[in-house]
A and B are shown apart, each in its own frame.
Chain A
């Protein structure tokens, strides 16, 4: 063959047959490809296993946050103590010493307890919230006054940990937060059927608390919800409008070049800087309320905008030019072209960018610290201007708390955050699919 080649033209240098060369290094080529595929598979396996480890760890630690131990007290409400005049006036009822009632009840259950130290240990079996629970109950049901009834009150967080089995009974008494006599009392209550563990509604209905057994996620959840509503309502229309203008209408000149570069730069600015900006502009200059979801949403809007603008512009760019030419050629104005043909095709891509931006905003902590959303807030916010915190900040606050019970609350809050994120993304993906199908 090689000789044939040389006879064809003297100018063409002698070359070996292509197939011989190919055969010689085909194994090497295939091996390189197999190796590359292996790297890819290993990378994916690693990524998946890390995700599984993370989920397993979080669920394992956090599942306890969704249940709570309760202790049954047989309460006798003495009319003389609560409402001596029999007026059933809510103000009078609310003033009664429920704290004392709970305590004396505990003393009656364990009459052998005498020393001050022992009594204090006894009182701390139940949550400090028990007396408020009792007060609320009596206010709603004044007919209980003068009667005896069984009341399930939440156990104190340390006792809760003991009941759930997180505290090792074998280590020396001085090294654990639960004393021997407390263990004995709980065991006795358990034998009497006065201890139960059930679904922790408080976790989903209460705001933050210093007491782990009274702390709930609802405050942070509402805070995140309000904050993200503000972020979405501002960043999506502004981002999409900016992208459409820059991509379709703006003249190509130095000014738009500078704007484009700066939008890309903004996407790389550390988020805490946006927090400082929010503090200086929204709170100090415009005097908006501190710790409010409104300000949080504004700050997160600033942070999310570059992401949405960049991805929206990419989506607009990817619309085939033939579609634009077709519309223009029919005599459509630029706006008719953009809104009837280009935008519908670009919208799914824009939504993808928005999902990414919103997911970032949901997980953002640093800028919100700067505008005061890190405060300890017990009340559940009910509007955009109520002081509140958000889920990631709540996780940070709980992770910082020394009590053992907050470990599971932290993981529980992470699970709620992930559920929120997955729900949000699922809704966005659903909307995107719906838009795609129409085309």
Chain B
């Protein structure tokens, strides 16, 4: 990655940015008013590897924040810090403060189950449970005790599948195996499963990377609709996707948060040279 960065020659067609490549302080305002989640000075180490270097970032209400950057830049790692999925990874050490509604999520007294009920996650590869479609959606609600009766559970399953835009396709075969759906349907099933527990924040780790363009378009529309109700952080490799679905975009590079700002500004007027290199397709 470093070689790429060094080797990238300045293209004469794109005007040179103001901030040079070796600058590592975050460019742009990472704060928002009354944030849902905020991270301050977050460092992540995998054994000897320093994967995230002092990142500060706020996640506003009802916004979609896109995280972009070349492979290995730490964007997925950062995302997984937000609901402590990294807890399961051996040798992973997270320092700094991450708060959800002003409560530190790495507080020893906080039960991680509580956190994950508020911060749901959709993974890169669709991973439905090898159970029926109904059971896939109902399980989360059931373990958290969100439904008192079967009718309530049916209701949750139906509304979640409707929100995920999957209801019409599967309403006649809720007993069919979730793993028997197509890739795009599986991913929407996973989104429905996450919605079913009614979280406040939804984290999406490259949710469309395993999908074809049509399925991707459906999921992107869905993300836009979900914004009305949830706060969404999405990691993506596709800059077009970031431009289409997000309001703010954060650019990560080798563990540093290089630049953050309104999506429009990042893609039209990048201030950091690294950001510009990346979005103009010179590396990444």
Contacts and interface: CB of A to CB of B under 8 A. Distances in A.
A323 B143 contact: no
Chain A contact patch, size range: 10 to 19
Interface class of chain A by DSSP? helix
Interface string A336-361: 10001100010000000000000000
A266 to B, nearest CB: 26
B102 to A, nearest CB: 20
A328 B190 contact: no
Contact of B139 (A324, A328, A330, A439): A330
B260 to A, nearest CB: 25
A328 B85 CA distance: 8
Given A330-B197, A331-B197, A322 B127 contact: yes
Q: Which has the most chain B C-beta neighbours within 10 Å: A252, A322, A330?
A: A330
A252 B91 CA distance: 11
Interface in A296-331: 320, 322-331
A325 B123 contact: yes
Nearest to A329: B121
Interface in B81-114: 83, 85, 88, 90, 113-114
Given A252-B90, A336-B143, A340-B139, A329 B129 contact: no
B130 A323 contact: yes
A330 B191 CA distance: 11
B263 interface: no
Nearest to B196: A330
A156 to B, nearest CB: 64
A332 interface: yes
Nearest to B140: A330
B117 A331 contact: yes
Contacts of A330: 116, 120, 139-140, 143, 193-194, 197
Nearest to A324: B88
A320 B115 CA distance: 24
Contact of A325 (B127, B130, B139, B144): B127
Contact of B123 (A322, A331, A332): A322
Interface string A372-408: 0000000000000000000000000000000000000
B163 interface: no
Given A252-B90, A331-B197, A439 B130 contact: yes
B interface, size bucket: 20 to 34
B113 A332 contact: yes
B45 interface: no
A104 to B, nearest CB: 78
Interface string B228-243: 0000000000000000
B36 interface: no
Contacts of B21: none
B282 interface: no
A333 interface: yes
Contacts of A324: 88
A326 B140 CA distance: 10
Contacts of B85: 325, 328-329
Contacts of B113: 331-333
Contacts of B121: 325, 329
B24 interface: no
A340 B142 CA distance: 12
B125 interface: yes
Contacts of A345: 130
Contacts of A331: 113-117, 120, 140, 143-144, 197
Contact of B83 (A320, A322, A329, A341): A329
B227 interface: no
A326 B125 CA distance: 10
A325 B126 CA distance: 11
B113, B123, B129 — which one has the most chain A CB atoms within 10 A of its CB?
A: B129
Contacts of B129: 323, 326-327, 341
A6 to B, nearest CB: 29
B244 interface: no
B45 to A, nearest CB: 17
B131 interface: yes
13 contacts: A252-B90, A322-B127, A328-B85, A328-B116, A329-B120, A329-B194, A330-B120, A330-B193, A331-B144, A333-B143, A336-B143, A340-B139, A439-B130
Interface of B: 83, 85, 88, 90, 113-117, 120-121, 123, 125, 127-131, 139-140, 143-144, 190, 193-194, 197
